[in-house]
Amino acid sequence: MAKEDLAALDAHWRAANYLSVGQIYLMGNPLLTEPLRPEHIKPRLLGHWGTSPGLNLVHTHLNRVIKERDLDALCVWGPGHGGPAVLANAWLEGSYTQRYPAVTRDAEGMARLFRQFSFPGGVPSHVAPETPGSIHEGGELGYSLAHAYGAAFDNPGLVVACVIGDGEAETGPLAGSWHSNKFLDPVHDGAVLPILHLNGYKIANPTLLARLPDAELDALLKGYGHEPLYVAGDDPLTVHHTMAEAMDQALDRIAALQRAARSGGAHTRHRWPVIVLRTPKGWTGPRTVDGVPVENTWRSHQVPLSEVRENPGHLRQLEQWLRSYRPDELFDAEGGPTEDVLTCVPEGERRLGATPRANGGLLSRPLPLPPLERFAVTVDEPGATSHEPTRVAGELLAQVMADTARRRDFRVVGPDETESNRLGALYGATGKAWQERTLDTDEHLARDGRVMEVLSEHLCQGWLEGYTLTGRHGLFSCYEAFVHIVDSMVNQHIKWLKTSRSLPWRAPVPSLNYLLTSHVWRQDHNGFSHQDPGFVDHVLNKSPDVVRVYLPPDANTLLSVTEHVLDSRDYVNVVVAGKQPCFDWLSLDAARAHCARGAGVWEWAGTDDGTRDPDVVLACAGDVPTQEVLAAAGLLRELLPELAVRVVNVVDIARLMPREEHPHGMPDSEFDALFTRDRPVIFAYHGYPWLIHRLAYRRTGHANLHVRGYKEAGTTTTPFDMVVRNDLDRYRLVMDVIDRVPGLAVRATAVRQAMTDARTRHHAWIREHGTDLPEVADWTWPHTSGG
Amino acid sequence: MAKEDLAALDAHWRAANYLSVGQIYLMGNPLLTEPLRPEHIKPRLLGHWGTSPGLNLVHTHLNRVIKERDLDALCVWGPGHGGPAVLANAWLEGSYTQRYPAVTRDAEGMARLFRQFSFPGGVPSHVAPETPGSIHEGGELGYSLAHAYGAAFDNPGLVVACVIGDGEAETGPLAGSWHSNKFLDPVHDGAVLPILHLNGYKIANPTLLARLPDAELDALLKGYGHEPLYVAGDDPLTVHHTMAEAMDQALDRIAALQRAARSGGAHTRHRWPVIVLRTPKGWTGPRTVDGVPVENTWRSHQVPLSEVRENPGHLRQLEQWLRSYRPDELFDAEGGPTEDVLTCVPEGERRLGATPRANGGLLSRPLPLPPLERFAVTVDEPGATSHEPTRVAGELLAQVMADTARRRDFRVVGPDETESNRLGALYGATGKAWQERTLDTDEHLARDGRVMEVLSEHLCQGWLEGYTLTGRHGLFSCYEAFVHIVDSMVNQHIKWLKTSRSLPWRAPVPSLNYLLTSHVWRQDHNGFSHQDPGFVDHVLNKSPDVVRVYLPPDANTLLSVTEHVLDSRDYVNVVVAGKQPCFDWLSLDAARAHCARGAGVWEWAGTDDGTRDPDVVLACAGDVPTQEVLAAAGLLRELLPELAVRVVNVVDIARLMPREEHPHGMPDSEFDALFTRDRPVIFAYHGYPWLIHRLAYRRTGHANLHVRGYKEAGTTTTPFDMVVRNDLDRYRLVMDVIDRVPGLAVRATAVRQAMTDARTRHHAWIREHGTDLPEVADWTWPHTSGG
């Protein structure tokens, strides 16, 4: 590279470093037009300097190649706690001012940029939704590479750079993410360029990867399937030179690999490049502070000089540090960046802070959703037939997959469970993404497949987050218990969506949809370790603007809910539905109406004539509880026919919440009309019973609410034994009714005894035969055609 | 190896395979003494065959080397869903009968072994607490290697073999666990021998690692710092031969490395061996079923022949399969294993199913806990001084660390946050475990350190689980928000402990202790992504026999709670405490008494004279809420002195639960006496407010309970602004009191207005200065010495 080109890169880098330091420290005198005084310093010094110079270097060099090659590029900043760096670059390139016009590209805007950083009412210290050009929060480490791949899938023209800190590289999810390259199709997908930034330290320790022997690191990256390019040093101009070379080599290689694959067809998996960038932590910051080494140690992680307001020595050192970037060369008289600084910066939407790829809602098209009539099961009478709900929904998903064959903006991810979850119809429309070698016995593997299976919930979640945040659609089908593996990831995604919703410039993105199946009640093969319905509780702690939870009780309601969530934006939708055969309760029309209401009376199931409040309400949410409630209703109809029983089914669990606490919450009047104000309500719920109390505790009739659900009484056993162990079975529900309805006829005592006897019979039978009682296994809803 | 030795190994392996198949299929005719008939077959065919022959091979070969070398060994079975294999081996070696005398080592016992497997009331299909010799559930994948390292730390005489399935190897946590070898001290720790079992398939797909080019796999394992030994094939005798060789090489190498390190001192990190075992999935099972390939495909994952009861062809094929192991050579007339089969089996506690290492409570000693008086802060008056609670607790932990210097049975783990969490005193007693190269600038790194820092919550959790399950003690200090990363792991650990408690032969193990700090209210540097108090909600869904949650409000209460949890067994203890300066409220004696009660009135803080019910109860749980409640109590004392205010602090959150739902739950009478039956209770809680409702909804006075807490109103801001944003601040609490206490004097209206004004003042001040109002920053509890 020519010397003047290097100098221009260096100017840009210095400017970004200057602005990064300024954000951490200054609330006045942004251009150092006068000597620094304590009152120019923020009262609370917050932020992360250590990673910032490295991020600035990467951004500077990405600018150059984007501009030179007219690249469509996106960058995922793994060490996004280095927020000042990404903000500095966005301000330099003008994308920041574009989103936030008050933060102008002059001295006044610079002052605003500095002051607002980590300041109450200002902007967060990390890369966050507020940061232009980002799809990745820098707070929780581990997911950058998975996000980058998610963004690259089905974006063949896109290059996604991904900075991975050596701290983040120690996390499990990141370590597993390297293998994402086995799923990237060079023909239909874009490229991911990982940049492993070894600055040597995390918060208080050296990092594992930075201290590996060179040969071991090289073997590791090659073992991950990458071709490493090394950039190392602490002399800026030398590093600029090597970095520019490495970037060019990496992008040349990417272009060559893509050309080869796209002309001749891909036949082997590529060894994609990875850049290893080894520069000092806190590079160009104070070498030592109070005699202790700071640059190139963990001590530069956050704020290297911590007593700037009180300690004149620190203040002086800060001023020297800031002036070492020679701000007078970098900013003009008005405080805007000089031409030299901006030499490397690309134009318009090519700027990393302005790319619509990072504002995926702008690029997103609604999914083509076929009429549900084509997939619905026929229901002439409730409970006369049964289907596997997820298999029925699988046909809908397969059609959506087929209808997006050209658009390629829909993917289904899962940890090796798509077939097991009865969604195999998808393979009629696409294959499973796979770039490794194949054998004759393999089925459905395809380089261009849009079903993604890997035994890592973290990868499934990370990929889908990256995919939806860049404007495409998808669904994550997961064993209910193991979705807890990504609890923390979904927390962050919900937080991201919550904040994005408050930013007018962020267009709504497709929702993140979960289909949780293989649920707690049907772990015949796997038992206790696979039994956990708590994800619903977990997400309901988070922002009600974002979180939706549905428990469709049968095939047609699952169809209706699936259609709804695929068509939605900016939500995290959690759908819990079984994969085992389940009675069909509602016709498609009835299912649609019921799902639209979210909760309602099933008149046909009760003995309530509607003229007055019933004697008791049997409520249910979830497929297995619904079956048990209906069986209990059937028993009551037969054994205590004079009892007025109302059956209520809840699909949309947030309807139980007060309206002030969730937009789907029903008003008290509606709640009272549905559940009554004073009658006993026996509620059979799919998960932990106290969730229902936590949602409904403000309701008038709450004291009459008696909830049955899963209470960690789990093991490998039969379906009915599971409900018995957790007191959710039909017999127990009938006993609950008898125990709670006052003034029942004497006969009720005999009925109660019959229920106890039935449970005893169950225990004896199962011990002997290992199967469920025939009367349970063969049970069907009494056909009502005769009246 | 001699031919007859190989033949004996093969006999053992065949016997284990036979018994594995028997468990999946048979409920009668266990020795095939008559032709197989449908009634011999279980009605529900459940279990996982695919991995079982591989596990049996490993167990057989471990038996040989344990016996030959008199090894103290433990095995962690990553693919523990292959429960039949581990059960088969335990039965063969006699350890199963030792634990479960009814399951004798004869035909009758074999019939029991078969029938009970995955049978209601029997044993789980996975390796589980019920399985002798195990510390690792096979249900949730990803943690085997971390568990193995946890078991090996501070057990210098122990060899921990760890079978890693190629499915599990795809998970993030497992991928990150390979780097555990950078923390294993060859002098003071035992050895881990990973056995990567590439059987090629997971549930429905090939695995990533099995399809890597050989050179890439080799590079990957070398990159992880291992020396690979390869065993591959499908001819049993050849594989036996190669496997025996590989085992010998691996153990020779381990012994040599340890000898070298222990004689000369360790100066470089070793390249420990790893065995790569490549054998077919479902090896020796049906090659094809109904014309479709099964052996060596994913189709052998669970039950290869699924219609044995109904389909005579399947029944015949099963009988051929069982007879292919030549059971008449393997079992004698009584049905016990022949001498030949048992040749390789070690004796007594050397047997893998009988080792006390896997029943760590047997080996565990109570921790030496120094008198708290040495660390307690002096509190003459409440709120007159302040300390960083975790720093005070750190001194206690440091003393325990020092006092276990010879015993080496205590470790503190954390994701690079020990110093940041103010526990740095520990470094006076030990270093941070580290086997990589060191630099002059490094601090506290030590080969034999017992503080463990790695930027992976998964590793911290997995190591500590392995460490405590083998009988040692520890504490995991973690940022509160990011402990959600291990939600699913702690689920499994709680389930493990719950089940273990019901097994008389399992001795109680040290508790798993969390210190959650850097909590939701003090994320000055990090903001919204670091704000999540929901882990408490998560664990409280799980077994109340196991889960304990403490929110000590100051330094001395934290000391008392820490002592308590370190001395406990079989619990998961969650302690939430701040690291920022916090007022000292209670003297050590008062703290001890308060913690023993778990919840109680702070008479000195209220204006309640105790003669009658107060006008209002101000309750609090957590350090920041306690401070706000006391500030509110101070305001009320000054502004509405006639109001009788009772201040209640809750340390042990489960005390709020009904006694029937948690052993710590208080009886209604005590609850009523504390909180009253009919007075308003304003409860300031550390986390999500609805948790308090969910715990207390059955209480008489529940309708009067008004809870404030964190409601996802987070960002990077000042401490006081955080409580204001979430309506937990002192001014809002006073307003809550005024809004809820009936019949207040007119003056209350003016007080309420003053509170609103104070909040307005706050908003204006913070926007201008970026700091908290001086009246808040300088607030102290009014000294009561004057009365």
DSSP string of B104-128, one letter each residue:
-SSHHHHHHHHHHBTSTTSB-SS--
Residue B54 φ then ψ, to 5°: -65, -45
pLDDT band for position A229 (50/70/90)? very high
Q: Looking at residue B82, what is its pLDDT?
A: 94
Q: Looking at residue A785, what is its pLDDT?
A: 47
Task: Establish if A746 belongs to a structural domain.
Answer: yes
- The alpha carbons of chain B give a radius of gyration, in whole angstroms, of 30
Average pLDDT taken over every residue of chain A: 96
If you average pLDDT over residues A228-235, what whole number do you get? 98
User: Residue B753 and residue B734: Cα distance in Å, rounded?
Assistant: 11
Report how far apart, in Å, the C-alpha atoms of A334 and of each of A106, A330, B132 are.
5, 11, 76
- Residue to mutate among A116, A136, A143, A170, with most B CBs inside 10 A, is A170
Residue of B nearest to A48 (CA): B525
Query: B695 and B651 in one domain?
Result: yes
Q: Is the pLDDT assigned to residue B457 strictly greater than 80? A: yes
pLDDT band for position A745 (50/70/90)? confident
Closest CB from B168, B220, B697 relative to A697:
B697
Residue of A nearest to B710 (CA): A541
Residue A478 φ then ψ, to 5°: -145, 145
The tokens for B35 are 């032709």
Cβ B458–A43 below 8 Å, yes or no?
no
Residue of A nearest to B445 (CA): A205
Cβ A204–B487 below 8 Å, yes or no?
no
Task: Establish if B787 belongs to a structural domain.
Answer: no
pLDDT tens digit sequence for A107-164: 999 999 999 999 998 999 999 999 999 999 999 999 999 999 999 999 999 999 999 9
Closest CB from A120, A172, A542 relative to B712:
A542
Task: Establish if A398 belongs to a structural domain.
Answer: yes
pLDDT band for position A746 (50/70/90)? confident
- Helix (H, G, I), strand (E, B), or coil: what is residue B742? coil
Query: B704 and B639 in one domain?
Result: yes
Query: A390 and A339 in one domain?
Result: no
Q: Is the pLDDT assigned to residue B267 strictly greater than 80? A: no
Query: B234 and B195 in one domain?
Result: yes
- Residue to mutate among A174, A443, A488, A502, with most B CBs inside 10 A, is A488
Q: Looking at residue A428, what is its pLDDT?
A: 97
The closest of A758, A560, A633, A608 to A382, measured between CA atoms, is: A633
The closest of B168, B174, B167 to B205, measured between CA atoms, is: B167
Query: B438 and B547 in one domain?
Result: yes
Query: A524 and A401 in one domain?
Result: yes
pLDDT band for position A716 (50/70/90)? confident
Q: Is the pLDDT assigned to residue A77 strictly greater than 70? A: yes
Q: Looking at residue B495, what is its pLDDT?
A: 97
Query: A681 and A761 in one domain?
Result: yes
- Residue to mutate among A198, A205, A489, with most B CBs inside 10 A, is A205
Contact list, B224 vs chain A (CB under 8 Å): 220, 223
If you average pLDDT over residues B34-50, what whole number do you get? 96
pLDDT tens digit sequence for B614-651: 999 999 999 999 999 999 999 999 999 999 999 999 99
DSSP string of B387-421, one letter each residue:
E-HHHHHHHHHHHHHHHTTTT--EEEEESS-TTTT
Q: Is the pLDDT assigned to residue B787 strictly greater than 60? A: no
- Counting residues of chain A whose pLDDT is more than 70, the rounded percentage is 99
User: Residue B81 and residue B144: Cα distance in Å, rounded?
Assistant: 12
CATH of residue A687's domain is 3.40.50.920
Give ipTM to 2 decimals.
0.97
User: Residue B300 and residue B203: Cα distance in Å, rounded?
Assistant: 9
pLDDT band for position A29 (50/70/90)? very high
Q: Hey, how many other C-beta atoms are within 10 angstroms of the C-beta on B610?
A: 11
Q: Is the pLDDT assigned to residue B391 strictly greater than 60? A: yes
The closest of B488, B403, B484, B489 to B450, measured between CA atoms, is: B403
The tokens for A211 are 């201290």
Cβ A171–B484 below 8 Å, yes or no?
no
Residue of B nearest to A538 (CA): B538
Q: Is the pLDDT assigned to residue A356 strictly greater than 90? A: yes
Cβ A170–B456 below 8 Å, yes or no?
yes
Query: B284 and B402 in one domain?
Result: no
Closest CB from B203, B445, B766 relative to A420:
B203
Query: A106 and A23 in one domain?
Result: yes
pLDDT band for position A322 (50/70/90)? very high
Q: Looking at residue A786, what is its pLDDT?
A: 41
CA B452 to chain centre: 16
Q: Is the pLDDT assigned to residue B527 strictly greater than 90? A: no
Report how far apart, in Å, the C-alpha atoms of B458 and of each of A488, B244, B415, B509 are.
12, 33, 9, 21
To the nearest whole angstrom, how far is the Cα of B354 from the nearest Cα of chain A?
A: 24
- Residue to mutate among A51, A81, A171, A483, with most B CBs inside 10 A, is A171
Task: Establish if A364 belongs to a structural domain.
Answer: no
Task: Establish if A70 belongs to a structural domain.
Answer: yes
The tokens for A525 are 């093969």
Closest CB from B125, B204, B445 relative to A525:
B125
CATH of residue A208's domain is 3.40.50.970
Query: Helical H runs in B365-486?
Result: 389-403, 457-469
Cβ A208–B302 below 8 Å, yes or no?
no
Query: B609 and B701 in one domain?
Result: yes
User: Residue B608 and residue B571: Cα distance in Å, rounded?
Assistant: 37
Cβ B220–A220 below 8 Å, yes or no?
yes
Q: Looking at residue B785, what is its pLDDT?
A: 47
- Residue to mutate among A136, A211, A496, A726, with most B CBs inside 10 A, is A211
If one compares B450 and A611, the residue with the highest pLDDT of the two is B450
- The alpha carbons of chain A give a radius of gyration, in whole angstroms, of 30
pLDDT band for position A266 (50/70/90)? low
Task: Establish if B356 belongs to a structural domain.
Answer: no
- Counting residues of chain B whose pLDDT is more than 70, the rounded percentage is 99
Closest CB from B172, B222, B453 relative to A172:
B172
Number of domains chain B is built from: 3
User: Residue B463 and residue B452: Cα distance in Å, rounded?
Assistant: 9
To the nearest whole angstrom, how far is the Cα of A167 from the nearest Cα of chain B?
A: 6
Domain region containing A490:
372-582
To the nearest whole angstrom, how far is the Cα of B645 from the nearest Cα of chain A?
A: 25
pLDDT tens digit sequence for A406-415: 999 999 999 9
Task: Establish if B12 belongs to a structural domain.
Answer: yes
If you average pLDDT over residues B141-158, what whole number do you get? 98
Contact list, B718 vs chain A (CB under 8 Å): 44, 120
The size of chain B, in residues, is 787
pLDDT band for position B784 (50/70/90)? low
- Residue to mutate among A295, A522, A526, A540, with most B CBs inside 10 A, is A526
Closest CB from B124, B766, B770 relative to A527:
B124
Cβ A417–B297 below 8 Å, yes or no?
no
Cβ B139–A528 below 8 Å, yes or no?
yes
To the nearest whole angstrom, how far is the Cα of A352 from the nearest Cα of chain B?
A: 23
Q: Looking at residue B118, what is its pLDDT?
A: 93
Query: B520 and B400 in one domain?
Result: yes
Query: A254 and A128 in one domain?
Result: yes
Q: Looking at residue B269, what is its pLDDT?
A: 86
Contact list, B532 vs chain A (CB under 8 Å): 491
Q: Looking at residue A525, what is its pLDDT?
A: 77
Residue of B nearest to A700 (CA): B703
DSSP state of A510: B
pLDDT tens digit sequence for B572-608: 999 999 999 999 999 999 999 999 999 999 999 999 8
Q: Looking at residue A784, what is its pLDDT?
A: 55
Q: Is the pLDDT assigned to residue A787 strictly greater than 60? A: no
pLDDT tens digit sequence for B535-577: 999 999 999 999 999 999 999 999 999 999 999 999 999 999 9
Q: Is the pLDDT assigned to residue B298 strictly greater than 90? A: yes
Q: Which residues have C-beta within 8 Å of that of residue A5, sequence separation ≥ 6?
A: A343
pLDDT tens digit sequence for B488-521: 999 999 999 999 999 999 999 999 999 999 899 9
Q: For residue A453, what are the β-bridge partners?
A: A414
- Counting residues of chain B whose pLDDT is more than 90, the rounded percentage is 95
Cβ A445–B721 below 8 Å, yes or no?
no
Closest CB from B172, B211, B694 relative to A456:
B172
- Helix (H, G, I), strand (E, B), or coil: what is residue A275? strand
Residue of B nearest to A706 (CA): B698
Task: Establish if B358 belongs to a structural domain.
Answer: no
